[in-house]
Copies of this chain bind each other. A is one copy, B any other.
Amino acid sequence: MPYRRTPKVEARLAETRERIIKAALKLVARGGYAAANIPAIAAEVDISAGLIYRYFATKADLFNEVFKRAAQTEIDACAAAFDTEGTVRERLARVVETFARRALRGRKLAWALLAEPVDPPIDVARMQFREPYRAIFARLVQQGIEAGEIAPQHPHLVGTAIVGAIAETLVGPLSAPHPDEEDVDLVASLVAFCVQSLGPQPTAANPSRRRRHE
């Protein structure tokens, strides 16, 4: 477009765009993706539904941004748990516990990010948000192998498997409308499973159980 916007107009457009994203985030956190339809978001921002499409060409574009924001907050929390002192098993336990506790606290948002049935184009985008978690777990595995704390194994595969284990375990509880008394036990059991899945500490008698792919 040859037409040039003034800085003031630009700022107002950016501000409305931000309000749309925040309103969508709020609705997802309250009722999941299903509750965050365009008319509801428009009502929340107090603009017309049609106007939203001037800021986001498709619903998928809007939710790609909404889920990206929501996911980044969670990833930052897990990255902080990764950046702590301790053995690899201790740090892994902290990351898993951080993820699970936050998910169970913000259950509707976590459900929407992890498993709620969404339209196919949004599902495609949502799958990408698992990659940073895989990377965190793969690095922990790599560091554990290098430090001799865990036996040689395939860091990327183990990282992926742990992400799958966490997601699958939380999906059921998160789809329940309210927190459960068993949530505390669930977090402890999930942390125990993930730590256990790294296998035993290599001993002097059995220092390296190398596999072909290492």
Q: Chain A residues in contact with chain B, CB under 8 A?
A: 115, 117-121, 123-124, 127, 130, 153-154, 157-158, 160-169, 171-172, 182, 185-186, 188-190, 192-193, 196-200, 211-213
Residue of B at shortest CB range from A121? B117
Query: A121 vs B119: C-alpha distance in the bound complex, in angstroms?
Result: 10
Query: Is A161 within 8 A of B157, CB to CB?
Result: no
Rounded to whole Å, the gap between the CB of A58 and the closest CB of chain B is: 15
Query: A117 vs B165: C-alpha distance in the bound complex, in angstroms?
Result: 20
Query: A131 vs B71: C-alpha distance in the bound complex, in angstroms?
Result: 27
Query: Is B153 within 8 A of A161, CB to CB?
Result: no
Contacts of A169 in B (CB 8 A): 157, 160-161, 164
Contacts of A188 in B (CB 8 A): 211-212
Query: A117 vs B118: C-alpha distance in the bound complex, in angstroms?
Result: 8
Contacts of A130 in B (CB 8 A): 168
Rounded to whole Å, the gap between the CB of A19 and the closest CB of chain B is: 27
Query: Is B154 within 8 A of A161, CB to CB?
Result: no
- Contact with A153, one of B127, B193, B213 (Cβ below 8 angstroms): B193
Query: Is A213 within 8 A of B185, CB to CB?
Result: yes
Query: Is A189 within 8 A of B153, CB to CB?
Result: yes
Contacts of A160 in B (CB 8 A): 168-169, 172
